[in-house]
Amino acid sequence: MSKKLYIETVGCQMNVLDSELVVGGLRRDGYELTHEAVDADVILFNTCSVREHAEEKIYSALGRLVGHKKSHPDKVIGVIGCMAQKDQELIRRRAPHVDMVVGTGQLGQIPSLVKVVQETRQPQYALSLGRAEAGKKDVEASFESYDPVRDPSMRPTSFQAFVRIQIGCDKFCTYCVVPSTRGPEQSRHPNQIWGEVKQLADEGCKEITLLGQTVNSYEFEHGDGRRTRLSDLIAGMHEVPGIERIKFVTNYPKDMTDDLLDAVRELPKAVKYLHVPVQSGCNEVLKRMKRMYSVEFYREMLQRCREKVPGVAISSDFIVGFCGETEEAFQKTCDLVRESRFKNSFIFKYSKRPGTKADDLYPDDIPEEVKKRRNNDLLAIQNANSLADHKSKVGETVSVLVEGPSKLGMKQTSGPIQLAGRSMTDHIVVFDGNPRLIGQTIDVRVHEASPFTLYGQAVTTDLQKTETWSEPVSYPKDPANDRRLGLPLV
């Protein structure tokens, strides 16, 4: 009988990719995926520590497994990823039934750790060094990621893949746990990255999303004076046959260099979309966050992006209710959102993270109701802008990579169903069509817009003309595990 693996993933795209690699490793040991935790021999939680809420969800899920573990002591329960790296002691105390705590830099060891737990019934811990625990080189080495074993079945879709180009972060924004959970910033060798992209293209992958916490700080020093920047990296993979689209997330405002913007403009496969989080529209708040730029700098950067890449769509992240954020400071953020014409924004209420500089230095002094209200107010301003942005697309014909059925389409069982995909500016587009269009790039004429979605009609293709609509619909992936429209990367 085959061994079963259950893996639950929360957090950013980096975690989605990590889970793909962990599944790949365990599959080689004969594990098959199951969607029910209680059916599995190995139960893994790939965790996120960016906000407290994400951590509490994991502790609740672990709590629900206490009885199951008691009656099935042979099962292996593992907490992996950011929370594991950050809170091994706490996990030991709050969830003593956990058998395995594995940090972001040790995921490659999971298959062997599972065996040790099964043989010894002793809990196993594998973690990287803390950033102040040793010299730079040793800390870096302890976070080094392993050679990935790609598992196509865990990808967002068979024709889309994430590729990690950088690990860690050295920016140390005061509110953020990532520099400690993912370690020092390290860029991967371009040859490795290009090799992976070629392999993915051979497997039928059309869209590559390059991942890094500050992806545009990517730089690989070859040691002989040569260096490869993100723009060079994109230019290199642009030549790979089969690849149609190249995206990259998440950008750091100060590292948005002209060579990168030139590459995005000049290279037809580069998606004309930039996610560049600003976090706040008030200089005092940005200073306390240690973002290292001013609102004026960010405004100029936005203008430069738009001048250099005509038609580019830009999105941002915001934290509301950060320590000491006055009403006046918040209004400055509202002003920035009003004027910036972001395609969309991800807005978060500040969540105090133990171990961060902000937690040491500043009281979390904005009441929860105020954070909530500011969140709603900012969202309302952004939604009005998103609607205006979407409406400006009505009448245009956009090229859509069809990702799968929309939420509505998932419930439709015959005939043309509602399909969803993204345009070259990362706008979500839905339209009615044959499920066989999933994975293809087609032209869609936009006739209606909401704040989140463009509605359109496929510009008729030969494929559509000859299709009959009566056959049963089958989807490439279990919709319950569908992560196509995921959150931005921290």
210 near 239, Cβ under 8 Å?
no
Amino acid at 336: L
Torsion of CA 301, 306, 308, 309, to 10 degrees: 130
Helix/strand/coil for 419: strand
Of positions 317, 389, 403, 432, contacts ligand 5AD by CB under 6 A:
317
Of positions 162, 218, 248, 350, contacts ligand 5AD by CB under 6 A:
350
**Residue 334 marked as a ligand binder:** no
Residues 252-271 that bind ligand SF4 (CB under 6 A): 252
- Residue appearing with tokens 């590559």: 208
Reading the block at residue 237, the tokens are 């993979």
Of positions 163, 165, 176, 309, contacts ligand 5AD by CB under 6 A:
176
Strand blocks (E) in 308-462: 313-320, 345-349, 397-405, 417-422, 428-433, 441-449, 454-458
Q: Shortest approach of ligand 5AD to residue 425 CB, angstroms?
A: 21
Reading the block at residue 270, the tokens are 């580069």
DSSP for 454-479, please give it. EEEEEPP-HHHHH--S-SPP--SS-G
Q: Cα(157)–Cα(276) distance, rounded to whole angstroms?
A: 25
Residues 226-255 that bind ligand SF4 (CB under 6 A): 252
Q: Shortest approach of ligand 5AD to residue 388 CB, angstroms?
A: 23
Q: Shortest approach of ligand 5AD to residue 93 CB, angstroms?
A: 23
DSSP for 40-51, please give it. -SEEEEEE--SS
Contact stretch for ligand SF4 (CB under 6 A) within 95-103, 173-181, 348-356, 399-407:
173-181
Count of residues of this chain found to bind ligand SF4 when the rule CB under 6 A is applied:
11
Binding of ligand SF4 by 304 (CB under 6 A): no
Cross-strand pairs, 274: 314
Contact stretch for ligand SF4 (CB under 6 A) within 106-114, 130-138, 159-167, 174-182:
174-182
Q: Cα(31)–Cα(396) distance, rounded to whole angstroms?
A: 47
Q: Shortest approach of ligand SF4 to residue 237 CB, angstroms?
A: 24
Q: Cα(155)–Cα(475) distance, rounded to whole angstroms?
A: 14
CA 390 to chain centre: 23
Residue among 84 and 237 whose Cβ is closer to ligand SF4: 84
Residue 172: name its binding partner from ligand 5AD, ligand SF4, none (Cβ under 5 to 8 Å by kind). Answer: ligand SF4
Q: Shortest approach of ligand 5AD to residue 455 CB, angstroms?
A: 28
Binding of ligand 5AD by 256 (CB under 6 A): no
**Residue 82 marked as a ligand binder:** yes
Q: Shortest approach of ligand SF4 to residue 323 CB, angstroms?
A: 15
Contact stretch for ligand SF4 (CB under 6 A) within 126-134, 165-173, 226-234, 241-249:
165-173
Residue 252: name its binding partner from ligand SF4, ligand 5AD, none (Cβ under 5 to 8 Å by kind). Answer: ligand SF4
Count of alpha carbons within 13 angstroms of residue 367, beta-carbon side = 3
**Residue 282 marked as a ligand binder:** no
Per-residue x/- marks for ligand 5AD, 146-175, CB under 6 A?
Answer: -----------------------------x
Binding of ligand 5AD by 353 (CB under 6 A): yes
DSSP for 91-137, please give it. HHHH-TT--EEE-TT-GGGHHHHHHHHHHH---EEE-PPPTTSS-HH
Binding of ligand 5AD by 210 (CB under 6 A): no
416 near 263, Cβ under 8 Å?
no
317 near 345, Cβ under 8 Å?
yes
Of positions 163, 169, 264, 314, contacts ligand SF4 by CB under 6 A:
169
Q: Cα(73)–Cα(118) distance, rounded to whole angstroms?
A: 10
Helix/strand/coil for 253: helix
Q: Shortest approach of ligand 5AD to residue 169 CB, angstroms?
A: 11
Q: Cα(463)–Cα(313) distance, rounded to whole angstroms?
A: 30
Binding of ligand SF4 by 165 (CB under 6 A): no
**Residue 48 marked as a ligand binder:** yes
- Residue appearing with tokens 């000859």: 466
Binding of ligand SF4 by 143 (CB under 6 A): no
How many Cβ atoms sit within 10 Å of the Cβ of residue 96? 10
Per-residue x/- marks for ligand SF4, 176-215, CB under 6 A?
Answer: x-xx---------------------------------xx-
Q: Cα(251)–Cα(422) distance, rounded to whole angstroms?
A: 20
Q: Cα(164)–Cα(18) distance, rounded to whole angstroms?
A: 9
Per-residue x/- marks for ligand 5AD, 257-296, CB under 6 A?
Answer: --------------------x-x-----------------
317 near 175, Cβ under 8 Å?
no
Helix/strand/coil for 342: coil
Residue positions in the annotated binding site? 12, 48, 82, 169, 173, 176
Q: Which residues bind ligand 5AD (CB under 6 A)?
A: 50-51, 175-176, 277, 279, 317, 319, 348, 350-351, 353, 488, 490
Residue positions in the annotated binding site for [4Fe-4S] cluster? 12, 48, 82, 169, 173, 176
Q: Which residues bind ligand SF4 (CB under 6 A)?
A: 169, 171-173, 176, 178-179, 213-214, 252, 490
